[in-house]
Amino acid sequence: MARKKIAAGNWKMNTTIEQGIELALRVANAERNISITTILGVPFTHLFPLQKKIKASSKILLAAQNCHHKTSGAYTGEISPEMLSAMKVPYVIIGHSERREYNHEDNALLALKIRAALNSKLKVIFCCGEGLEIRKANTHINYVKNQLMESLFQLDANEMKNIVIAYEPIWAIGTGETASPAQAQEMHASIRSMLQKKYGKRVAENTSILYGGSVKGNNAQELFSQPDVDGGLVGGASLNSDEFVQIINSF
Ligand code: PGA
C-alpha cells in the first residue's frame, strides 16, 4: 500500500466561524485532486459547525490543533481527546512548535498527548523540527531524532498506522523562508530511516511525512516532488482558498 499524499491546512488562531465556513466551503467545492487527502486544522470552535456544513462527499477531513493528555477532569479551558473523538473528528495536530514555545509543551508531555489521542482513536499529525541555532550548529538531524525518540517511539508498529509526521523547521514557519527541497528531502529521508531502524521497512514505507514551513502555491510542487516528502502542513497559505487548492493540486 502506497503511503498517503496529504495536504493539511493549519489555520491556527484565525477566522471567525463565518469566515471559516466560507473558506472551508471554497476548498470543498473547488476543482481539486480528491485522491490527495485534504485536512483542515481549525480552531476548536469551528469543528462542529464545519462538520455540519461540509458534505462528506467533498472528502475534506477536519483536525483539531491540540488536545489535552487526560480524558476528563479539572482542567479549565482544555479539550480532551475523548471529546474530539465523540464528535468524530478524525485528526489532531500534536507538538506544533508554537505550542512547544508558548505553552511550554515538552517531549515528555507530547508523549502523553499522543498516547491519549490514540487511546481515543484519533489520528495524530505529530510535528517536529529544529530552530535556527540548531540548524546553524548542524545538529538538526539528531535534534529531530531526539524529538521522535522521546515523544513518538513509545508506540508499537501497529499504532504507527495512525501517525502522520510533519517536519517543520521553526526558522521556516511564518517567515517566508522555506527549507530548500534538498534540505527537506535530507531530513525526510533521515526520519524515514529512523522509522525503518525502529519499526522496520513496512512502517517506514507507509508513514506519510509532511513538510511545513512557508509552503506556498509557488513552491509546493518542487517540495512535493522530493521522494520522501509526502505533502505539506500549511499555515498562512491555507487561509487563502485559491492558494491552498493550488497547493493541493501541486502533487
Ligand atoms: P506557515 O506555517 O505555512 O505559515 O509557515 C506552517 C505551520 O506552522 O504549520
Residue with grid cell 518542487, as numbered in its chain: 222
Average pLDDT for 170-184: 91
Q: Which residues of 105-134 are buried (b: 16+ CB within 10 A; e: fewer)?
A: bebebbbbbbbbbbebebbbbbbbbbeeeb
The Cα 231–Cα 210 span in angstroms is 5
**What does the block give as the cell for 185?**
528531502
Q: Is 130 a catalytic residue?
A: no
Q: Is 96 a catalytic residue?
A: yes
- Note the pLDDT tens digit of each residue in 183-199: 999 999 999 999 999 99
Residue with CA nearest ligand 1 atom 7: 235
**Going along the chain, which residue ranges are E strands?**
6-10, 37-41, 60-64, 91-94, 123-128, 163-167, 209-212, 231-234
- Note the pLDDT tens digit of each residue in 25-79: 999 999 999 999 999 999 999 999 999 999 888 999 999 999 999 999 999 999 9
Q: Identify whether the C-beta of residue 121 lies closer than 8 Å to the C-beta of residue 114.
A: no
- Ligand 1 pocket residues where CB is under 6 Å: 10, 168, 173-174, 212-215, 233-237
User: Alpha carbon of 182 to those of 7, 32, 79, 102, 211: distances in Å?
Assistant: 20, 27, 38, 30, 12
- Report helix, strand or coil for 107: helix
Q: Identify whether the C-beta of residue 91 lies closer than 8 Å to the C-beta of residue 163.
A: no
Q: Which of 98, 105, 130, 168 is catalytic?
A: 168
Q: Is the pLDDT score of 208 beyond 70?
A: yes
Q: Which residues lie closer than 8 Å to 133 by C-beta, 6 or more apart?
A: none
